[in-house]
Amino acid sequence: MIDRHNFTRLALLASDTERAIEAEAELRGLIDWVPIEDAEAVVVLGGDGFMLQTLHHMLDNERVIPAYGLNLGTVGFLMNKQRSRANFLARVNRSRSIAIAPLRMEAVTQDGAHHTFCAINEVSLLRETRQTAKMEVTVDDKVRIRELVCDGVLVATPAGSTAYNLSANGPILPLDSQLLALTPISAFRPRRWRGAILPDRSRITFRVLDSVKRPVSAVADQKELRDIAEVSLEIARESQLTLLFDPGHSLDERIVAEQFMV
């Protein structure tokens, strides 16, 4: 189903790559662009990394508007394909809205400091040294694994399930599945544990065991926090984001198609 938007005030943001800068120059003359603080939606030129950077900037500034991406990077999973620039505003207004909610990470470091970050794709906990990490895993106040021995572990949203999660042999989640992927990275014990698929209403907590000898860092998309003692994760429903996709080119379809690529 196609949404019928009526955007009249669009902002334009481009990454600093040569391709994105060239595309920005071409698009500048097509419509009257406005500053992002005055816009109803934003057009993002670049790759997935720049789209994530833009979405995080909106979350940090507490002003979230729909984002329409044009892929001028590599994978471009969160972006639309380049097509004719004719009737560009009409193309954006015919796009389909996809709502995604980020993960909220509440972390405590070894010095007792508290930190809060959001992740659109995933939160990963990774060993900092040659020593394997040891973590206790709790889901909704019930300890599920008393000692997970591994290189790391991650929790991915459906939007991020085809990124690092997929590389770690985690499951691909349909966008409307209301699920989270809990995926170990090179798990040693419990042996043969492949991870879990959890309802997205779950609260997941990792407590680092022997954290001085076996330090662990936490990475929420592009933000890293070192020397973690404990991390709790849950969906931040109040921080919902909206991505815009061309008809027939939605994130749902890309998630399905990714599972048949060989």
Point out the residues that are catalytic. 48
Element (H, E) at 252: helix 251-258
CA 30 to CA 87: how far, in whole Å?
8
* Contact by Cβ (8 Å): 74, 97: no
**Is 140 part of any known ligand binding site?**
no
**Is 22 part of any known ligand binding site?**
no
Distances from the Cα of 120 to the Cα of 157, 186, 239, 247, 249, angstroms: 7, 23, 10, 23, 20
Residue 59, both tokens: 């979350």
The DSSP call for residue 159 is T
**Is 141 part of any known ligand binding site?**
no
**Is 24 part of any known ligand binding site?**
no
* Contact by Cβ (8 Å): 226, 115: no
CA 96 to CA 68: how far, in whole Å?
10
**Is 71 part of any known ligand binding site?**
no
**Is 167 part of any known ligand binding site?**
yes
**Is 126 part of any known ligand binding site?**
no
**Count of residues for the chain?**
262
**Is 121 part of any known ligand binding site?**
yes
Contacts of 15 (CB under 8 A, 6+ apart): 45, 46, 47, 49, 50, 72, 73
CB neighbour burial string for 56-85, b if at least 16 within 10 angstroms, e if fewer: bebbeeeeebbbbbbbbbeebbbbbeeeee
**Is 16 part of any known ligand binding site?**
no
**Is 169 part of any known ligand binding site?**
no
Given CA atoms 257, 103, 124, 210 in this order, what sign does their dihedral have? negative
**Is 151 part of any known ligand binding site?**
yes
**Is 48 part of any known ligand binding site?**
yes
Residues making up the annotated binding site for NAD(+) are 48-49, 121-122, 151, 159, 162-167
Residues making up the annotated binding site are 48-49, 121-122, 151, 159, 162-167
